[in-house]
Amino acid sequence: MFSGFLYSIFIALIIGFANPEKPFRLLFSIPLGFGLCSVFYFLFLLTGIQNILVYKIFEFIIAVVVSFFIFTKIIPPEIKIKKISLSLAFANLTGLLIFLKYYVNNSLGSWDGFRIWNTKAEFMFRDISLWKNMFLQPHFLSHNDYPLFLPSSTARIWQYTGNDNSIFNITLAIIFTFSAVYMLYFAIKHFQNKKIAQLFATVLMLTPVFLVNGASQCADIPLSLFILASIISLFLYFEKKNSHFLILGTVFAGFSAWVKNEGLMFFLVFLLVTGVYFLYKKSYKNLFYTAAASLPFIALIFFFKFLCNSPNDLIAGFFAFKTYTHLFDLHNYLMIIKSLVLMLIERFWLLFLLIIPLIKGVKLCKNNKEAFYLSLVIFILMCLGYFMTYILSPHDLDWLLTYSLDRIILQVLPLFLFLYALCLKIGQEDTEN
Amino acid sequence: MKISDGTITKLVLFLAFLLSVKYVPLFIQVPFTLAFVPYQKINSFNVRVQPVLKNNDLFKNRTYVGFYTDVEEQKVFDLERSVDDFYTLQYAIAPSVLVNDTEEKYVIGVFNKNIIKKNNLKMIKQFDKRTYLFERME
Protein backbone atom coordinates (compact mmCIF):
# COMPACT_ATOMS: atom_id res chain seq x y z
CA MET A 1 0.00 0.00 0.00
CA PHE A 2 2.66 2.51 1.06
CA SER A 3 5.07 1.31 -1.63
CA GLY A 4 2.31 2.01 -4.18
CA PHE A 5 1.90 5.46 -2.70
CA LEU A 6 5.62 6.24 -2.80
CA TYR A 7 5.79 4.90 -6.33
CA SER A 8 2.92 7.16 -7.47
CA ILE A 9 4.68 10.21 -5.97
CA PHE A 10 8.02 9.19 -7.47
CA ILE A 11 6.55 8.71 -10.95
CA ALA A 12 4.84 12.13 -10.80
CA LEU A 13 8.09 13.83 -9.73
CA ILE A 14 10.11 12.09 -12.44
CA ILE A 15 7.61 13.21 -15.07
CA GLY A 16 7.64 16.73 -13.64
CA PHE A 17 11.42 16.78 -13.70
CA ALA A 18 11.20 17.27 -17.46
CA ASN A 19 11.02 21.04 -16.90
CA PRO A 20 13.88 23.10 -18.31
CA GLU A 21 16.71 24.23 -16.12
CA LYS A 22 17.83 25.16 -12.67
CA PRO A 23 16.90 26.94 -10.46
CA PHE A 24 13.61 25.65 -9.06
CA ARG A 25 13.76 22.48 -11.08
CA LEU A 26 12.94 20.21 -8.16
CA LEU A 27 10.24 22.53 -6.81
CA PHE A 28 8.71 23.00 -10.25
CA SER A 29 8.62 19.25 -10.73
CA ILE A 30 5.91 19.00 -8.03
CA PRO A 31 3.15 21.09 -9.67
CA LEU A 32 4.24 20.07 -13.16
CA GLY A 33 4.42 16.35 -12.39
CA PHE A 34 1.15 16.15 -10.48
CA GLY A 35 -0.53 18.44 -13.00
CA LEU A 36 0.48 16.24 -15.94
CA CYS A 37 -0.43 13.02 -14.12
CA SER A 38 -3.87 14.35 -13.21
CA VAL A 39 -4.52 15.19 -16.88
CA PHE A 40 -3.20 11.77 -17.94
CA TYR A 41 -5.53 10.04 -15.48
CA PHE A 42 -8.52 12.11 -16.65
CA LEU A 43 -7.73 11.29 -20.30
CA PHE A 44 -7.31 7.62 -19.40
CA LEU A 45 -10.79 7.57 -17.84
CA LEU A 46 -12.14 9.14 -21.01
CA THR A 47 -10.78 6.28 -23.12
CA GLY A 48 -13.12 3.92 -21.31
CA ILE A 49 -10.38 1.34 -20.79
CA GLN A 50 -11.36 -0.64 -17.71
CA ASN A 51 -7.97 -2.08 -16.87
CA ILE A 52 -6.03 0.27 -14.61
CA LEU A 53 -2.83 -1.64 -15.36
CA VAL A 54 -2.84 -0.06 -18.83
CA TYR A 55 -2.66 3.36 -17.21
CA LYS A 56 0.14 2.34 -14.88
CA ILE A 57 2.17 1.00 -17.80
CA PHE A 58 1.56 4.21 -19.74
CA GLU A 59 2.82 6.36 -16.85
CA PHE A 60 5.80 4.07 -16.39
CA ILE A 61 6.75 4.47 -20.06
CA ILE A 62 6.48 8.26 -19.82
CA ALA A 63 8.67 8.22 -16.70
CA VAL A 64 11.26 5.99 -18.42
CA VAL A 65 11.39 8.33 -21.43
CA VAL A 66 11.84 11.37 -19.17
CA SER A 67 14.50 9.53 -17.13
CA PHE A 68 16.31 8.71 -20.37
CA PHE A 69 16.53 12.42 -21.17
CA ILE A 70 17.60 13.26 -17.64
CA PHE A 71 20.29 10.65 -17.30
CA THR A 72 21.70 10.92 -20.81
CA LYS A 73 22.45 14.53 -19.87
CA ILE A 74 20.29 16.09 -22.54
CA ILE A 75 18.68 17.77 -19.57
CA PRO A 76 21.36 17.29 -16.92
CA PRO A 77 20.00 16.63 -13.45
CA GLU A 78 21.05 18.91 -10.69
CA ILE A 79 19.49 18.60 -7.30
CA LYS A 80 21.04 20.51 -4.47
CA ILE A 81 19.37 20.18 -1.13
CA LYS A 82 20.32 23.45 0.49
CA LYS A 83 20.46 24.06 4.20
CA ILE A 84 17.71 26.14 5.71
CA SER A 85 17.94 28.26 8.85
CA LEU A 86 17.09 26.92 12.29
CA SER A 87 14.11 29.27 12.65
CA LEU A 88 12.63 28.10 9.35
CA ALA A 89 13.20 24.46 10.28
CA PHE A 90 11.48 25.02 13.63
CA ALA A 91 8.62 26.89 11.95
CA ASN A 92 8.38 23.99 9.52
CA LEU A 93 7.95 21.51 12.36
CA THR A 94 5.41 23.72 14.14
CA GLY A 95 3.54 24.24 10.88
CA LEU A 96 3.44 20.51 10.27
CA LEU A 97 1.97 19.94 13.74
CA ILE A 98 -0.72 22.60 13.22
CA PHE A 99 -1.45 20.95 9.89
CA LEU A 100 -1.69 17.47 11.39
CA LYS A 101 -3.76 18.72 14.32
CA TYR A 102 -6.42 19.82 11.83
CA TYR A 103 -6.07 16.53 9.99
CA VAL A 104 -6.64 14.29 13.03
CA ASN A 105 -9.80 16.26 13.81
CA ASN A 106 -10.98 16.30 10.18
CA SER A 107 -9.41 13.29 8.53
CA LEU A 108 -11.87 13.24 5.63
CA GLY A 109 -11.30 16.95 5.02
CA SER A 110 -13.33 20.05 5.75
CA TRP A 111 -16.98 20.11 4.71
CA ASP A 112 -16.02 21.46 1.26
CA GLY A 113 -13.07 19.12 0.96
CA PHE A 114 -15.30 16.16 1.78
CA ARG A 115 -18.40 17.21 -0.15
CA ILE A 116 -16.82 18.56 -3.33
CA TRP A 117 -13.29 17.28 -3.83
CA ASN A 118 -13.17 13.91 -2.08
CA THR A 119 -16.63 12.88 -3.31
CA LYS A 120 -15.51 13.56 -6.90
CA ALA A 121 -12.32 11.58 -6.25
CA GLU A 122 -14.46 8.65 -5.09
CA PHE A 123 -16.40 8.81 -8.37
CA MET A 124 -13.08 8.58 -10.22
CA PHE A 125 -11.81 5.72 -8.08
CA ARG A 126 -14.55 3.28 -7.02
CA ASP A 127 -15.81 2.22 -10.44
CA ILE A 128 -13.96 3.83 -13.31
CA SER A 129 -16.62 2.76 -15.80
CA LEU A 130 -19.15 5.00 -14.01
CA TRP A 131 -17.01 8.03 -13.16
CA LYS A 132 -19.05 10.33 -15.42
CA ASN A 133 -21.98 9.90 -13.01
CA MET A 134 -20.40 12.72 -11.00
CA PHE A 135 -21.80 15.15 -13.55
CA LEU A 136 -25.33 13.91 -12.82
CA GLN A 137 -25.33 15.21 -9.25
CA PRO A 138 -28.46 17.33 -9.00
CA HIS A 139 -27.65 20.09 -6.55
CA PHE A 140 -25.46 23.15 -7.16
CA LEU A 141 -23.37 22.58 -3.99
CA SER A 142 -21.71 19.59 -5.67
CA HIS A 143 -20.24 22.10 -8.19
CA ASN A 144 -20.21 19.76 -11.17
CA ASP A 145 -18.41 22.36 -13.26
CA TYR A 146 -15.32 22.49 -11.00
CA PRO A 147 -12.20 21.25 -12.81
CA LEU A 148 -10.74 17.90 -11.84
CA PHE A 149 -7.09 18.42 -10.95
CA LEU A 150 -7.48 17.53 -7.27
CA PRO A 151 -10.01 14.67 -7.61
CA SER A 152 -8.01 13.20 -10.47
CA SER A 153 -4.69 13.45 -8.56
CA THR A 154 -6.26 11.90 -5.47
CA ALA A 155 -8.00 9.08 -7.36
CA ARG A 156 -4.79 8.35 -9.27
CA ILE A 157 -2.88 7.87 -6.02
CA TRP A 158 -5.69 5.70 -4.62
CA GLN A 159 -5.41 3.52 -7.73
CA TYR A 160 -1.73 2.95 -6.99
CA THR A 161 -2.34 2.24 -3.30
CA GLY A 162 -5.48 0.18 -3.84
CA ASN A 163 -7.56 2.01 -1.24
CA ASP A 164 -8.94 5.44 -0.43
CA ASN A 165 -7.40 5.94 3.00
CA SER A 166 -7.31 9.64 3.88
CA ILE A 167 -3.65 9.37 4.89
CA PHE A 168 -2.83 9.57 1.17
CA ASN A 169 -4.97 12.66 0.62
CA ILE A 170 -3.29 14.42 3.48
CA THR A 171 0.20 13.54 2.30
CA LEU A 172 -0.69 15.04 -1.06
CA ALA A 173 -1.98 18.12 0.79
CA ILE A 174 1.28 18.33 2.76
CA ILE A 175 3.27 18.20 -0.46
CA PHE A 176 1.32 21.08 -1.97
CA THR A 177 1.14 23.23 1.15
CA PHE A 178 4.79 23.04 2.07
CA SER A 179 5.90 23.27 -1.56
CA ALA A 180 4.09 26.61 -1.72
CA VAL A 181 6.08 27.87 1.29
CA TYR A 182 9.40 26.59 -0.04
CA MET A 183 8.71 27.91 -3.50
CA LEU A 184 8.08 31.30 -1.93
CA TYR A 185 11.27 30.95 0.12
CA PHE A 186 13.52 30.07 -2.81
CA ALA A 187 11.88 32.64 -5.10
CA ILE A 188 12.43 35.49 -2.63
CA LYS A 189 15.94 34.22 -1.93
CA HIS A 190 16.73 34.13 -5.64
CA PHE A 191 15.21 37.46 -6.66
CA GLN A 192 15.71 39.41 -3.43
CA ASN A 193 17.81 38.09 -0.54
CA LYS A 194 18.01 35.32 2.01
CA LYS A 195 17.03 37.40 5.05
CA ILE A 196 13.67 38.40 3.65
CA ALA A 197 13.11 34.91 2.26
CA GLN A 198 13.63 33.39 5.68
CA LEU A 199 11.36 35.96 7.30
CA PHE A 200 8.48 35.55 4.89
CA ALA A 201 8.66 31.76 4.72
CA THR A 202 8.78 31.47 8.52
CA VAL A 203 5.78 33.74 9.05
CA LEU A 204 3.74 32.01 6.33
CA MET A 205 4.68 28.62 7.78
CA LEU A 206 3.25 29.71 11.14
CA THR A 207 0.04 31.19 9.73
CA PRO A 208 -2.74 28.84 10.90
CA VAL A 209 -5.34 29.79 8.28
CA PHE A 210 -2.90 28.85 5.51
CA LEU A 211 -2.02 25.49 7.09
CA VAL A 212 -5.60 24.63 8.02
CA ASN A 213 -6.81 25.33 4.51
CA GLY A 214 -4.04 23.14 3.18
CA ALA A 215 -5.12 20.34 5.51
CA SER A 216 -8.79 20.79 4.60
CA GLN A 217 -8.16 18.87 1.34
CA CYS A 218 -9.57 21.69 -0.77
CA ALA A 219 -8.01 22.97 -3.99
CA ASP A 220 -7.14 26.52 -2.92
CA ILE A 221 -3.57 25.90 -1.73
CA PRO A 222 -2.67 23.79 -4.80
CA LEU A 223 -4.05 26.67 -6.88
CA SER A 224 -1.87 29.17 -4.99
CA LEU A 225 1.14 26.96 -5.77
CA PHE A 226 0.36 26.92 -9.51
CA ILE A 227 -0.19 30.69 -9.55
CA LEU A 228 3.10 31.32 -7.74
CA ALA A 229 4.98 28.87 -9.99
CA SER A 230 3.58 30.63 -13.06
CA ILE A 231 4.70 34.06 -11.86
CA ILE A 232 8.16 32.82 -10.82
CA SER A 233 8.56 31.31 -14.30
CA LEU A 234 7.70 34.71 -15.75
CA PHE A 235 10.39 36.31 -13.59
CA LEU A 236 12.89 33.65 -14.68
CA TYR A 237 12.03 34.35 -18.30
CA PHE A 238 12.86 38.03 -17.88
CA GLU A 239 16.01 37.21 -15.94
CA LYS A 240 17.42 34.58 -18.28
CA LYS A 241 15.71 35.61 -21.52
CA ASN A 242 15.01 31.94 -22.07
CA SER A 243 11.67 31.20 -23.72
CA HIS A 244 11.48 27.83 -21.96
CA PHE A 245 10.45 29.67 -18.82
CA LEU A 246 7.77 31.62 -20.64
CA ILE A 247 6.32 28.36 -21.92
CA LEU A 248 6.59 26.86 -18.44
CA GLY A 249 4.82 29.90 -16.93
CA THR A 250 1.99 29.50 -19.43
CA VAL A 251 1.80 25.78 -18.65
CA PHE A 252 1.49 26.49 -14.91
CA ALA A 253 -1.17 29.12 -15.65
CA GLY A 254 -2.95 26.52 -17.78
CA PHE A 255 -2.84 24.02 -14.95
CA SER A 256 -4.37 26.69 -12.67
CA ALA A 257 -7.42 26.56 -14.91
CA TRP A 258 -7.47 22.79 -14.38
CA VAL A 259 -7.47 23.26 -10.57
CA LYS A 260 -10.32 25.71 -9.98
CA ASN A 261 -12.55 28.14 -11.83
CA GLU A 262 -10.65 31.00 -10.17
CA GLY A 263 -7.56 29.48 -11.78
CA LEU A 264 -9.31 29.82 -15.12
CA MET A 265 -9.57 33.52 -14.40
CA PHE A 266 -5.83 33.60 -13.61
CA PHE A 267 -5.09 31.77 -16.86
CA LEU A 268 -7.08 34.29 -18.90
CA VAL A 269 -5.53 37.25 -17.07
CA PHE A 270 -2.04 35.79 -17.57
CA LEU A 271 -2.65 35.32 -21.30
CA LEU A 272 -4.14 38.79 -21.62
CA VAL A 273 -1.32 40.59 -19.82
CA THR A 274 1.57 38.69 -21.44
CA GLY A 275 -0.20 38.81 -24.82
CA VAL A 276 -0.64 42.59 -24.72
CA TYR A 277 2.95 43.02 -23.48
CA PHE A 278 4.49 40.97 -26.28
CA LEU A 279 2.29 42.64 -28.86
CA TYR A 280 3.41 46.04 -27.58
CA LYS A 281 7.05 44.89 -27.69
CA LYS A 282 6.48 43.36 -31.14
CA SER A 283 7.92 40.13 -29.79
CA TYR A 284 5.85 37.86 -32.02
CA LYS A 285 8.00 34.83 -31.33
CA ASN A 286 7.15 34.95 -27.63
CA LEU A 287 3.54 35.69 -28.43
CA PHE A 288 3.50 32.54 -30.52
CA TYR A 289 5.14 30.48 -27.72
CA THR A 290 2.58 31.69 -25.19
CA ALA A 291 -0.32 31.00 -27.53
CA ALA A 292 1.02 27.57 -28.46
CA ALA A 293 1.60 26.57 -24.83
CA SER A 294 -1.89 27.70 -23.87
CA LEU A 295 -3.71 25.82 -26.64
CA PRO A 296 -3.73 22.33 -25.02
CA PHE A 297 -5.17 23.83 -21.84
CA ILE A 298 -7.80 25.84 -23.68
CA ALA A 299 -8.80 22.63 -25.46
CA LEU A 300 -8.80 20.68 -22.18
CA ILE A 301 -10.96 23.22 -20.36
CA PHE A 302 -13.38 23.61 -23.27
CA PHE A 303 -13.70 19.85 -23.53
CA PHE A 304 -14.22 19.48 -19.79
CA LYS A 305 -16.89 22.19 -19.68
CA PHE A 306 -18.61 20.51 -22.62
CA LEU A 307 -18.39 17.12 -20.89
CA CYS A 308 -19.73 18.25 -17.52
CA ASN A 309 -22.52 20.15 -19.26
CA SER A 310 -23.23 22.01 -16.06
CA PRO A 311 -23.57 25.78 -15.94
CA ASN A 312 -21.49 27.72 -13.47
CA ASP A 313 -23.79 29.10 -10.78
CA LEU A 314 -22.27 32.57 -11.01
CA ILE A 315 -22.49 32.83 -14.79
CA ALA A 316 -25.95 31.28 -14.87
CA GLY A 317 -27.09 33.74 -12.21
CA PHE A 318 -25.88 36.67 -14.30
CA PHE A 319 -28.64 36.01 -16.82
CA ALA A 320 -31.25 34.13 -14.79
CA PHE A 321 -31.29 36.47 -11.80
CA LYS A 322 -30.05 39.59 -13.62
CA THR A 323 -27.22 39.96 -11.13
CA TYR A 324 -25.76 42.81 -13.20
CA THR A 325 -28.19 45.00 -11.29
CA HIS A 326 -25.97 44.40 -8.22
CA LEU A 327 -23.38 46.66 -9.86
CA PHE A 328 -25.42 49.67 -8.82
CA ASP A 329 -25.79 48.70 -5.19
CA LEU A 330 -23.17 50.54 -3.15
CA HIS A 331 -24.03 48.48 -0.10
CA ASN A 332 -22.50 45.38 -1.73
CA TYR A 333 -19.18 47.16 -2.32
CA LEU A 334 -18.99 48.33 1.28
CA MET A 335 -19.92 44.88 2.55
CA ILE A 336 -17.07 43.24 0.60
CA ILE A 337 -14.50 45.79 1.77
CA LYS A 338 -15.68 45.49 5.39
CA SER A 339 -15.54 41.67 5.25
CA LEU A 340 -12.08 41.79 3.69
CA VAL A 341 -10.69 44.03 6.42
CA LEU A 342 -12.30 41.96 9.19
CA MET A 343 -11.10 38.72 7.63
CA LEU A 344 -7.53 39.97 7.36
CA ILE A 345 -7.55 41.08 10.99
CA GLU A 346 -9.24 37.95 12.35
CA ARG A 347 -7.48 35.20 10.40
CA PHE A 348 -4.37 36.67 8.80
CA TRP A 349 -3.17 38.76 11.74
CA LEU A 350 0.25 37.07 11.94
CA LEU A 351 1.11 38.35 8.48
CA PHE A 352 0.86 41.93 9.75
CA LEU A 353 4.28 41.33 11.34
CA LEU A 354 5.66 41.61 7.83
CA ILE A 355 4.87 45.32 7.88
CA ILE A 356 7.77 45.85 10.31
CA PRO A 357 10.53 45.46 7.65
CA LEU A 358 8.99 48.46 5.86
CA ILE A 359 10.87 50.57 8.43
CA LYS A 360 13.92 50.18 6.23
CA GLY A 361 12.12 51.54 3.21
CA VAL A 362 11.16 50.35 -0.22
CA LYS A 363 13.39 49.61 -3.19
CA LEU A 364 12.67 47.53 -6.24
CA CYS A 365 15.63 45.73 -7.79
CA LYS A 366 16.33 47.04 -11.32
CA ASN A 367 16.60 43.59 -12.89
CA ASN A 368 13.12 42.57 -11.79
CA LYS A 369 11.20 45.64 -12.86
CA GLU A 370 9.53 44.41 -16.05
CA ALA A 371 8.48 41.08 -14.53
CA PHE A 372 7.38 42.81 -11.34
CA TYR A 373 5.09 45.30 -13.06
CA LEU A 374 3.57 42.64 -15.30
CA SER A 375 2.93 40.42 -12.26
CA LEU A 376 1.51 43.36 -10.35
CA VAL A 377 -0.94 44.01 -13.18
CA ILE A 378 -1.89 40.30 -13.13
CA PHE A 379 -2.38 40.46 -9.34
CA ILE A 380 -4.50 43.62 -9.51
CA LEU A 381 -6.66 42.22 -12.32
CA MET A 382 -7.13 39.02 -10.31
CA CYS A 383 -8.26 41.02 -7.29
CA LEU A 384 -10.67 43.01 -9.46
CA GLY A 385 -11.96 39.74 -10.89
CA TYR A 386 -12.60 38.34 -7.41
CA PHE A 387 -14.31 41.58 -6.42
CA MET A 388 -16.62 41.52 -9.43
CA THR A 389 -17.38 37.84 -8.82
CA TYR A 390 -18.69 38.74 -5.38
CA ILE A 391 -20.63 41.71 -6.72
CA LEU A 392 -22.28 39.66 -9.48
CA SER A 393 -22.92 36.53 -7.44
CA PRO A 394 -26.53 35.29 -7.34
CA HIS A 395 -26.00 33.96 -3.81
CA ASP A 396 -26.50 35.75 -0.53
CA LEU A 397 -23.40 37.94 -0.35
CA ASP A 398 -22.98 37.64 3.40
CA TRP A 399 -23.10 33.82 3.21
CA LEU A 400 -20.70 33.75 0.26
CA LEU A 401 -18.18 36.05 1.93
CA THR A 402 -18.31 34.12 5.19
CA TYR A 403 -17.57 30.79 3.53
CA SER A 404 -15.20 31.77 0.75
CA LEU A 405 -13.31 34.99 1.38
CA ASP A 406 -10.46 33.41 3.37
CA ARG A 407 -9.93 30.82 0.64
CA ILE A 408 -9.96 33.49 -2.07
CA ILE A 409 -7.30 35.46 -0.16
CA LEU A 410 -5.19 32.32 0.22
CA GLN A 411 -5.22 31.65 -3.52
CA VAL A 412 -3.20 34.80 -4.18
CA LEU A 413 -1.46 35.14 -0.82
CA PRO A 414 1.90 33.54 -1.81
CA LEU A 415 1.91 35.69 -4.97
CA PHE A 416 1.18 38.82 -2.96
CA LEU A 417 3.91 37.98 -0.42
CA PHE A 418 6.39 37.38 -3.22
CA LEU A 419 5.66 40.71 -4.89
CA TYR A 420 5.66 42.54 -1.57
CA ALA A 421 9.02 41.00 -0.57
CA LEU A 422 10.57 42.20 -3.81
CA CYS A 423 9.73 45.79 -2.88
CA LEU A 424 11.51 45.72 0.47
CA LYS A 425 14.86 47.37 0.96
CA ILE A 426 15.84 45.35 4.02
CA GLY A 427 18.70 42.92 3.50
CA GLN A 428 20.05 44.76 0.47
CA GLU A 429 23.68 45.90 0.82
CA ASP A 430 23.06 49.63 1.26
CA THR A 431 20.71 49.11 4.22
CA GLU A 432 23.24 47.34 6.44
CA ASN A 433 24.28 49.53 9.36
CA MET B 1 19.00 55.91 15.74
CA LYS B 2 19.70 53.34 13.07
CA ILE B 3 18.32 49.85 13.41
CA SER B 4 20.24 47.08 11.69
CA ASP B 5 18.59 44.64 9.31
CA GLY B 6 19.52 41.80 11.63
CA THR B 7 17.67 43.40 14.53
CA ILE B 8 14.50 43.84 12.49
CA THR B 9 14.67 40.26 11.20
CA LYS B 10 15.20 38.89 14.69
CA LEU B 11 12.39 41.04 16.09
CA VAL B 12 9.88 39.77 13.50
CA LEU B 13 10.96 36.16 14.01
CA PHE B 14 10.79 36.54 17.79
CA LEU B 15 7.27 38.00 17.62
CA ALA B 16 6.14 35.31 15.17
CA PHE B 17 7.31 32.55 17.50
CA LEU B 18 6.01 34.34 20.58
CA LEU B 19 2.56 34.56 19.04
CA SER B 20 2.77 30.87 18.16
CA VAL B 21 3.73 29.73 21.63
CA LYS B 22 0.21 28.38 22.17
CA TYR B 23 1.06 25.59 19.73
CA VAL B 24 3.75 24.10 21.99
CA PRO B 25 1.38 21.43 23.44
CA LEU B 26 0.94 20.13 19.90
CA PHE B 27 4.48 18.71 20.08
CA ILE B 28 3.08 16.05 22.43
CA GLN B 29 -0.59 16.02 21.54
CA VAL B 30 -0.32 15.37 17.78
CA PRO B 31 2.20 12.49 17.83
CA PHE B 32 0.20 10.90 20.67
CA THR B 33 -3.07 11.17 18.74
CA LEU B 34 -1.52 9.83 15.55
CA ALA B 35 -0.01 6.90 17.43
CA PHE B 36 -2.76 5.90 19.86
CA VAL B 37 -6.12 7.42 18.92
CA PRO B 38 -8.26 5.86 16.14
CA TYR B 39 -8.87 9.33 14.75
CA GLN B 40 -10.09 8.09 11.37
CA LYS B 41 -12.71 5.81 12.87
CA ILE B 42 -14.16 8.46 15.17
CA ASN B 43 -14.21 11.17 12.52
CA SER B 44 -17.74 12.59 12.37
CA PHE B 45 -18.07 12.16 8.59
CA ASN B 46 -16.64 8.67 8.76
CA VAL B 47 -19.04 7.57 11.50
CA ARG B 48 -21.96 8.61 9.31
CA VAL B 49 -20.50 7.31 6.06
CA GLN B 50 -19.29 3.86 7.10
CA PRO B 51 -22.60 2.03 7.69
CA VAL B 52 -23.80 2.91 4.17
CA LEU B 53 -20.38 2.62 2.56
CA LYS B 54 -20.03 -0.96 3.81
CA ASN B 55 -23.19 -1.77 1.85
CA ASN B 56 -22.23 0.21 -1.21
CA ASP B 57 -22.57 -2.92 -3.38
CA LEU B 58 -26.34 -2.78 -2.90
CA PHE B 59 -26.41 0.17 -5.29
CA LYS B 60 -24.22 -1.37 -7.95
CA ASN B 61 -25.68 -0.82 -11.42
CA ARG B 62 -28.10 1.80 -10.06
CA THR B 63 -27.34 5.21 -11.54
CA TYR B 64 -29.76 6.95 -9.18
CA VAL B 65 -30.72 6.30 -5.58
CA GLY B 66 -33.55 8.22 -3.94
CA PHE B 67 -33.38 10.23 -0.72
CA TYR B 68 -36.10 11.16 1.70
CA THR B 69 -36.19 12.50 5.15
CA ASP B 70 -38.50 13.99 7.73
CA VAL B 71 -37.68 17.37 6.27
CA GLU B 72 -40.13 18.45 3.59
CA GLU B 73 -38.79 17.57 0.11
CA GLN B 74 -38.70 21.20 -1.06
CA LYS B 75 -36.74 22.27 2.02
CA VAL B 76 -34.03 19.59 1.99
CA PHE B 77 -31.44 21.96 0.54
CA ASP B 78 -32.48 24.87 2.72
CA LEU B 79 -31.58 23.30 6.05
CA GLU B 80 -27.99 22.67 7.09
CA ARG B 81 -28.76 19.33 8.71
CA SER B 82 -30.52 17.81 5.71
CA VAL B 83 -27.87 19.18 3.32
CA ASP B 84 -25.25 17.48 5.51
CA ASP B 85 -27.19 14.21 5.42
CA PHE B 86 -27.64 14.40 1.67
CA TYR B 87 -23.98 14.96 0.84
CA THR B 88 -22.71 12.49 3.42
CA LEU B 89 -24.84 9.81 1.79
CA GLN B 90 -23.74 10.92 -1.68
CA TYR B 91 -20.13 10.28 -0.66
CA ALA B 92 -21.06 6.85 0.66
CA ILE B 93 -22.99 5.66 -2.39
CA ALA B 94 -20.71 7.04 -5.16
CA PRO B 95 -20.54 6.26 -8.08
CA SER B 96 -24.35 6.08 -7.79
CA VAL B 97 -26.02 9.47 -7.65
CA LEU B 98 -28.34 10.55 -4.85
CA VAL B 99 -31.48 12.42 -5.90
CA ASN B 100 -33.97 14.18 -3.70
CA ASP B 101 -37.05 12.10 -4.54
CA THR B 102 -38.64 8.72 -3.83
CA GLU B 103 -39.15 7.56 -7.42
CA GLU B 104 -36.08 5.33 -7.60
CA LYS B 105 -35.83 1.57 -7.04
CA TYR B 106 -33.85 2.16 -3.86
CA VAL B 107 -34.44 5.05 -1.52
CA ILE B 108 -32.37 5.98 1.51
CA GLY B 109 -34.30 7.56 4.34
CA VAL B 110 -32.80 9.65 7.14
CA PHE B 111 -35.11 10.37 10.06
CA ASN B 112 -34.36 12.42 13.12
CA LYS B 113 -37.60 11.56 14.94
CA ASN B 114 -39.99 8.94 13.62
CA ILE B 115 -39.73 6.93 10.46
CA ILE B 116 -42.09 8.31 7.87
CA LYS B 117 -43.56 5.42 5.95
CA LYS B 118 -44.69 5.57 2.37
CA ASN B 119 -47.11 3.04 0.92
CA ASN B 120 -44.99 1.90 -1.98
CA LEU B 121 -41.69 1.77 -0.09
CA LYS B 122 -40.67 -1.28 1.88
CA MET B 123 -37.91 -1.00 4.44
CA ILE B 124 -35.24 -3.60 3.71
CA LYS B 125 -32.30 -2.52 5.83
CA GLN B 126 -31.33 -0.31 8.73
CA PHE B 127 -27.87 1.25 8.35
CA ASP B 128 -27.75 3.06 11.68
CA LYS B 129 -30.09 4.70 14.19
CA ARG B 130 -31.26 7.32 11.69
CA THR B 131 -30.62 5.82 8.28
CA TYR B 132 -32.73 3.20 6.49
CA LEU B 133 -32.87 1.62 3.06
CA PHE B 134 -36.21 1.25 1.30
CA GLU B 135 -37.10 -0.61 -1.84
CA ARG B 136 -39.83 0.55 -4.16
CA MET B 137 -42.62 -1.99 -4.59
CA GLU B 138 -44.14 -1.75 -8.06
pLDDT 10s digits, A10-41: 888 888 877 656 668 888 999 999 999 999 99
Residue A23's CB is within 10 A of a number of other CB atoms, namely 17
**Which residues on adjacent β-strands are paired with residue B126?**
B132
Residues 6+ apart with CB under 8 A from A211: A95, A98, A99, A102, A177, A205
Distance from CA of B125 to the nearest CA of A (A): 23
Contact: A133, B12; criterion CB under 8 Å: no
Task: Tell how far CA B87 is from the center of its chain.
Answer: 7
Amino acid (1-letter code) at residue A312: N
Contact: A126, B94; criterion CB under 8 Å: yes
What is the per-residue pLDDT across A265-319, written as a single tens digit (0 to 9) for each?
999 999 999 999 999 999 999 999 999 999 999 999 999 999 988 777 777 777 7
Task: Name the A residues in 124-153 with CB < 8 Å from any B CB.
Answer: 126-127, 130-131, 133-134, 136-139, 141-142
Residue range A425-430: mean pLDDT, rounded? 73
Amino acid (1-letter code) at residue B99: V
pLDDT (0 to 100) of residue A154: 96
For A429, the closest chain B residue by CA position comes to B5
Residue A320 included in any domain: yes
- What is the pairing mode between strands B131-136 and B121-126? antiparallel
Edge-to-edge strand list for the sheet holding B106-110: B97-99, B64-69, B106-110, B131-136, B121-126
Residue A28 included in any domain: no
Mean pLDDT over each residue of chain A, to the nearest integer: 90
Q: Which of B19, B60, B91 sits opposite A118 (nearest CB)?
A: B91
User: Which domain covers residue A177, as residue numbers?
Assistant: 80-431
Residues comprising chain A, all counted: 433
- Is the CB of A64 inside 8 Å of chain B's CB atoms? no
Residue A63 included in any domain: no
Residue A203 included in any domain: yes
Strands annotated E in A180-317: none
ipTM over 0.95: no
What is the per-residue pLDDT across A393-423, written as a single tens digit (0 to 9) for each?
888 899 999 989 999 999 999 999 999 999 9
What burial class does residue A383 get, using C-beta atoms within 10 Å of its C-beta: 0-12 exposed, 13-18 middle, 19+ buried? middle
Strands annotated E in B1-120: 64-69, 97-99, 106-110
DSSP A134: G
Structure-model confidence comparison of residues A69 and B107, the more confident one: B107
Residue A321 included in any domain: yes
Give the separation between CA B45 and CA B69, rounded to whole angstroms. 18
Q: Which of B2, B16, B39 sits opposite A433 (nearest CB)?
A: B2
Whether the pLDDT of residue A157 is over 60: the answer is yes
Residue A47 included in any domain: no
Task: Name the A residues in 155-184 with CB < 8 Å from any B CB.
Answer: 165-166
Residue A149 has phi, psi (to 5 degrees) of -55, -55
What is the per-residue pLDDT across A62-81, written as a single tens digit (0 to 9) for each?
888 888 777 665 555 555 55
Residue A7 included in any domain: no
**Which residues on adjacent β-strands are paired with residue B123?**
B134
Number of domains chain A contains? 1
Residue A47 has phi, psi (to 5 degrees) of -65, -25
Residue A14 included in any domain: no
pLDDT (0 to 100) of residue A84: 73
Question: Could you tell me the residue ranges of all domains in chain B?
Answer: 5-36, 44-136
Pairs of residues, one from chain A and one from chain B, whose beta carbons lie less than 8 Å apart: 134
Is there a contact between A233 and A249 (Cβ–Cβ < 8 Å)? Answer: yes
What is the per-residue pLDDT across A206-252, written as a single tens digit (0 to 9) for each?
999 999 999 999 999 999 999 999 999 999 999 989 899 999 999 99
pLDDT (0 to 100) of residue A74: 55
For B65, the closest chain A residue by CA position comes to A137
Give the separation between CA A119 and CA A169, rounded to whole angstroms. 12
pLDDT (0 to 100) of residue A433: 43
Kind and range of the H or E element at A427? none
